[in-house]
Structure 1
Amino acid sequence: MTTSAIEVESTPAKPSPTYDGGPTRKRRQDSGELESTTSHVEELPIGALPLPPVDSKHGGLHRGLSARQVSMIAIAGTIGTGLFLGTGRSLAQGGPASMLICYAIVGAIVYVTLLLLGEMATQYPVAGSFNAYATRFFSPAYGFALSWNYWFNDAVSVASDLTAAQLVLQYWTDRDTWVISLMFWVFLVSVNSINVRAYGELEYWLASLKVITVIIFIILGILVNVGVNREHEYIGAKNWHIPGAPFVGGFGGFAKVFVTASFAYGGTESLGITAGETKNPSRNMPRVVKFVFWRILLFYILSIFLMGLNVPWNYPNLSNKTTTTSPFTIVFQEVGSKAAASFMNTVILTSVLSAGNHALFAGTRVLYGLAVTTPPQAPHFFSYTTPGGNIVGVSNQIAWLSIGMASWRFRQAWIRQGRPIYEMKFRAGWTWPWGPPFVIITVIALILIQGWSSLAPFSAVDFVSFYIEIPVMIVMYFGWMLIRPSNTHPPLPATTTPVSLAHRIKERFWKFHDLVDVEVVDLIRDEHEEDDADVADDEERTARLKGTYRWLWRVYYLVV
């Protein structure tokens, strides 16, 4: 992918004395090409995540996910119960205006976050993704806490999704639903243990059903609003002017919607976890990052806008402790669909299975990344894979915050070490240099605003559920600082000039933290180098788009 150069307003920094990439790489200044060396291969830099060769003892991860599958994995990870059910609660608690504004704001934040993640994932398509980047560019101790926390969330998610499947199944039967959930678990584990393509194909078709459902909903929502409904009445914006609307519950209601909005967008960050197993990542990751989220945002904003128009915020059972009615079901019923409830329960069931499949995939990849990082942050046996390349088996805001911090340090390292911007395989030029601080500040604000909903009135259970992961991560951070190997700190840059006071302070401070020094972090290792398969993939796509049937191929790529 060719991109234009951008200007970065910063004082030109001298290239780092270790810019050659450490003991395992050196840079040829005359041609700009990278040349591998074999000396001191065992001395891996902090946070390096090597992918073992496929024929090694451990099997390694395979690059088997196509752009089509990765795109749908991103959509599948986002469109789910948060949209189908969570929006009903948002509408009831905050009203149509709060819902539309909150989902738009969170969507914009997540979009910038995804661009930052895309820059790193394209440059370094490794297992573990944003967890790996936090370890490599920010702090190994923080990356350790983040990765184990994210893995725990995924492990719990698999269990909770299978439990949710039982609740959905009770719509049809209440006899031995646990048996069906057990069968679902066996099925998901089996699919994930075959190979990554099997996982990708399952996710593709599960996501396709959700996408088709949303498209149908948008079309029907427009028809219902203009009068194709049971009352044969034009609705327009009437529901925005009923008592209590368009803002319900004031700022407290607005804050509550932020909670469900953040939950609904959760999963987009795990797109980067697929980078280590994506075919031709230098081309496919930028395509996915740039186009997929706009489709997700379009689905969300259009769907939510139509919900607010067609469904009043005080609709019976829209949200309470015992029953939740999906706005999708309400709109389907308005056009006279008698099977609407059954159809939506089927879609929700597939969404639950997709969420469980996604969590199982993401959790195992995070665990793999922990086992192969340097120094290891999980037992070595977690790096073992099947011959097919698979292993069996904080909240979203913390993940987004971590991406912002890792991206900030990554960009600083890139500039300070003198690497030209054009060497980046993908960059979102319009987010330089404000992107990372924007994500960090806004996500922190999101975390604080969400807690407001548990303070007025105060709910100890909700407060703990919102913030329990923060003290857990702090404990794990300092735990790693205590048990870490003594040689995990890279040495400070050598200097022949008299040691300054600032250098001495930095040297003393270095003993009490493990923030990665952007002056010396290795920017060469793990960069993806295109192989014959990548070149062939590019040539095949180019030939299709220029051949006799180029318009059919354009439609094909657009649809799939």
Structure 2
Amino acid sequence: MTVSPVEGPQSSSPQHPDDIKKGPSSENYGAQSSLSELPVGALPVPPIDRENGLHRGLSVRQVSMIAIAGTIGTGLFLGTGSSLASGGPASMLICYGLVGVIVYVTLLLLGEMATQYPVAGSFNAYATRFFSPAYGFALSWNYWFNDAVSVASDLTAAQLVLQFWTTWHPWVISLLFWVFLVGINATHVRAYGELEYWLASLKVVTVIIFIILGICVNLGANTAHEYIGTRYWHIPGAPFVGGFGGFAKVFVTASFAFGGTESLGITAGETKNPSKSMPRVVKFVFWRILIFYILSIVIIGLNVPWNYPGLSNRTTTTSPFTIVFKEAGSTAAASFMNTVILTSVLSAGNHALYAGTRVLYGLATTPVPQAPVIFAKTTKGGVPVLALMATSSVSIICFGTSFIGSGQLWSWLQNIVGVSNQIAWLSIGLASWRFRQAWVRQGRSLDELKFRAAWTWPWGPYFVVISVSALIIIQGWSSVIPHFSAVDFVSFYIELPIMLIMSLGWLLVKWPSTTPSATAETPLPATATTPLMPSRTLRWRWKYHDIVDTRTVDLRRDEFHEEEEEQEEDRAEEGREARLKGGKKLLWKLYYAIV
């Protein structure tokens, strides 16, 4: 069976829904189409689903909570401690606010593409499809490494959290948690979704309690029975600690904290009725950022001094959340908060392990495989178990804490993951820019988009690309001025040359083999808005780069079409609306609010 190309000419007639649903059989899945049948710059595309492949087992309820679980974790509970210690309360509030704005716009751009094309690989696949296959290759491997390192970071964070109670053999704790996370992810995707749902629910309730308690502590309900107000904003060194270098450094910890939001698109390939669930989840991001981050940051900056003993150093990092509960005068409450932080660490590790596994699976299932095809094998439950084991194996990094120090290692991992998150956001901006350009150039109506963030047109992608690029350049200021720190500099910028080398490597080694001279003679058809391009010009263009031509990229392939499963979801939604209009609508509203 011939696999249709991604970047080939647009078909004169829409594909039949059945063709999109079925895709190639499992026997020839991963096999490349004859390259002679493809136009210049074209790549075939794998199906969204296949027999014994990924399953659409995540409900809207679970995906909504996964959106929260991916961001409320070690970055908020522990990362805010290092942010406060290195930048002060004002720097922390400003940096988290700016990054929050960037993330919100980025998620709206991703939501447009993920709703239209809910495929495995998400923004990695979009960068390959709409921007550059070479860049998409480097991005995918970079993000896989990001997720794998995030698992190690979370296991290291678990050691830091447990130091509140004991310092007994931290590597044993990491090993036990590692076995637990791998076991959960080795079962059906519904097990992952259900665990995330309940852990996220616990975190949401805890953050709300923290905000209420933090206000009370600030007004006088503390061990000293004194009104705190803005006292800690005026102590020596505050509110901007470390000058501009301290301010810039907070950007990377803020990016680490907000990391995970972009992986919402990765769940699109396993989400029921993504055309309706993805817009709901994306729209919820604004309130999540405002309530769970900005308010928490304000409370922390008011109640915890930047020079609090043990807040952040080489050997340990103390959660500001635990400190605020201590200030309330309850050791039991502080232990409870620490327990919640520990569960959030597990949740964040669970989420990172899931996302990294799916990214590696996506790499192995590309038509021109970007990873060994063995990682495309799945169990009957739809779990790419070999990709899972490869992703989890990187977590061995966390066992190095015995030699480096948990606090120091976690700080380095935090920098690496934070920069990787920024590269992901930058890539979403690039993919969205090219996607929107292709949509307009090929004459398709904006009304055809299943979800459109109208107020971000046309400036959204440019804003994300420029602002994130500025963050990446600025945030390493403290590693150069006033004194150069080689280790810190590497943790801030090592991702950039790696991305460049991997992109060039794919372009030089793989790309020429996908564009034989025979295909260069095939002229591309005219689109709705552009004329034909001479084949000689095409040969010169594709010889030096593989930037996708927005005039010919196939915008029909992989578009979502409702099936029986999605129609059942619609009927369930109609039943929900009927219950909300019935005689017991108040009870039903309360029930749905809780769920």
TM-score > 0.5, shorter chain as reference: yes
**126-135 or 322-331: bigger deviation:** 322-331
Query: Of the candidates 7, 16, 27, which is equivalent to residue 13 of structure 2?
Result: 27
Report deviation, 1:494: 4.5
**What CA distance in whole angstroms lies between the structure 1 residues aligned with 2:422 and 2:68?**
18
Residues 114, 265 of structure 2: 8 Å contact kept: yes
1:247 aligns with 2:282: no
Structure 2 residue aligned with 1:556: 591
Structure 2 residue aligned with 1:464: 490
**What CA distance in whole angstroms lies between the structure 2 residues aligned with 1:400 and 1:21?**
23
Report deviation, 1:480: 0.8
Pairing of 1:145-224 with structure 2 (within 5 A): 145-224=138-217
Report deviation, 1:52: 3.8
Structure 2 residue aligned with 1:425: 450
Structure 1 residue aligned with 2:514: 488
Report deviation, 1:157: 2.5
Report deviation, 1:90: 1.6
1:346 aligns with 2:339: yes
Query: Of the candidates 93, 97, 100, which is equivalent to residue 104 of structure 1?
Result: 97
Secondary structure, counterpart of 2:476 in structure 1: helix
**What CA distance in whole angstroms lies between the structure 2 residues aligned with 1:314 and 1:166?**
22
Letter in 2 for 1:194: T
Letter in 1 for 2:587: L
**What CA distance in whole angstroms lies between the structure 1 residues aligned with 2:533 and 2:115?**
39
**What CA distance in whole angstroms lies between the structure 1 residues aligned with 2:286 and 2:121?**
21
Residues 49, 132 of structure 1: 8 Å contact kept: no
**What CA distance in whole angstroms lies between the structure 2 residues aligned with 1:52 and 1:407?**
24
Report deviation, 1:22: 5.5
Report deviation, 1:507: 3.7
1:400 aligns with 2:400: no
Secondary structure, counterpart of 2:225 in structure 1: coil
Residues 492, 507 of structure 1: 8 Å contact kept: no
**What CA distance in whole angstroms lies between the structure 2 residues aligned with 1:446 and 1:554?**
42
Q: Considering only aligned residues, what root-mean-square deviation do their CA atoms show, in Å? A: 2.8
Secondary structure, counterpart of 2:479 in structure 1: coil
Report deviation, 1:522: 0.8
Pairing of 1:26-425 with structure 2 (within 5 A): 26-27=12-13, 42=33, 46=43, 48-53=45-50, 56=51, 59-392=52-385, 393=388, 395-425=420-450
Report deviation, 1:475: 1.1
Residues 76, 257 of structure 2: 8 Å contact kept: yes
Structure 1 residue aligned with 2:415: none
Structure 2 residue aligned with 1:522: 554
Letter in 1 for 2:448: E
Letter in 1 for 2:445: P
- Number of aligned residues: 533
Secondary structure, counterpart of 1:307 in structure 2: helix
Structure 2 residue aligned with 1:447: 472
Question: Normalized against structure 2, the TM-score is what?
Answer: 0.84
Q: 1:85 to 1:47 in 2, by over 3 A?
A: farther
Report deviation, 1:506: 5.1
Where is the helix percentage greater, Structure 1 or Structure 2?
Answer: 2
Q: 1:501 to 1:372 in 2, by over 3 A?
A: closer
Q: CA offsets, 1:57-88, max 9 Å, x none? A: xx111111111111111111111111112112
**456-465 or 333-342: bigger deviation:** 333-342
Report deviation, 1:34: 5.5
Residues 10, 555 of structure 2: 8 Å contact kept: no
Q: CA offsets, 1:490-532, max 9 Å, x none? A: 8652479xx9999855541221111111111111111110112
Q: 1:242 to 1:138 in 2, by over 3 A?
A: same
Q: 1:495 to 1:169 in 2, by over 3 A?
A: closer
Gaps of 5+ in 1: 1-17
Residues 9, 525 of structure 2: 8 Å contact kept: no
Q: CA offsets, 1:115-162, max 9 Å, x none? A: 101111100001010100001000011111111111122223223433
Letter in 1 for 2:270: E
Gaps of 5+ in 2: 25-32, 389-418
Residues 155, 349 of structure 2: 8 Å contact kept: yes
Letter in 1 for 2:475: Q
Structure 1 residue aligned with 2:393: none
Structure 2 residue aligned with 1:6: none
1:475 aligns with 2:489: no
Report deviation, 1:364: 1.0
Percent identity of equivalent pairs: 71
Letter in 1 for 2:454: G
Q: 1:373 to 1:500 in 2, by over 3 A?
A: closer
Q: CA offsets, 1:169-228, max 9 Å, x none? A: 344344444344323222222211211100011111222222122111100011112222
Secondary structure, counterpart of 1:194 in structure 2: coil
Report deviation, 1:99: 1.1
Letter in 1 for 2:591: Y
Q: CA offsets, 1:306-335, max 9 Å, x none? A: 111222223333222233332111211122
Q: 1:231 to 1:289 in 2, by over 3 A?
A: same
1:535 aligns with 2:528: no
Q: 1:95 to 1:495 in 2, by over 3 A?
A: closer
**398-407 or 189-198: bigger deviation:** 189-198
